[in-house]
Chain A
């Protein structure tokens, strides 16, 4: 792998993880805030709120995982390495 490809892969991996984590991070924070407030206001609905939060988190965190996988593929299994 030549140096330009290596440098571009490293920069792209950093951007993929960094930019890919911004949106899910904000979304997870606001979802967790709403869930904790909901549980505090309505403790009898704790099971449903936690279940919905789990499903929401799994969907949101998959966006982070996509960026993470792209970054790891670029770093450890780069298809452009030649």
Chain B
């Protein structure tokens, strides 16, 4: 059997690249089955064990989802208080505009998070679809007289204090 870690690594890469069972001829005329060597290599280098990486990826995505959920919860809390204060001080129209903007901000953040979640797995770049959300928000706010532009924009930016709080609370 071959114990060289470098050779094992190269063979692992070769096996992963081709994903097929391959045979190679040794200088002495013997046959080496690559999959058998890979089984021997897994005990030497656990970082190369693909199965262990796959099993831990669920934990990683859980961590990312948990971060999104924390930001969403903070933004919802800020929206609740801001809408209440705006309704108390400036009336129902400003409050409705703030709520509409805050919902747009949450939707924008969700789209951004989805784009970043896809980065490196199913997409090589981050889409710009989320930038349509403020465009639609400004267009709707300027077209409908029931909505005010400034409260809607302030509501849209309510996700930023939540992000700052989240950023400061990160270890």
Contacts and interface: CB of A to CB of B under 8 A. Distances in A.
Instruction: Tell whether A and B belong to one assembly.
Output: yes
B56 to A, nearest CB: 6
Question: What bracket does the count of chain A residues touching chain B fall in?
Answer: 20 to 34
Contact of A47 (B62, B126, B141): B62
B80 interface: no
Given A32-B119, A44-B56, A44-B60, A64 B126 contact: no
Contacts of B59: 47
Nearest to A52: B170
A45 B159 CA distance: 25
B126 A46 contact: no
B63 A48 contact: yes
* B contacts with A: majority SS: helix
A57 B153 contact: no
B68 interface: yes
A65 B68 CA distance: 20
A32 B126 contact: yes
Contacts of A54: 64, 67-68, 112-113, 116
Interface of B: 53, 56-57, 59-64, 67-68, 109, 112-113, 116-117, 119-120, 125-126, 130-131, 134-135, 138-139, 141-142, 149, 153, 157, 159-160, 163, 166-167
Given A57-B126, A68-B134, 7 more contacts: A43-B57, A51-B63, A51-B67, A54-B68, A55-B163, A57-B112, A76-B142
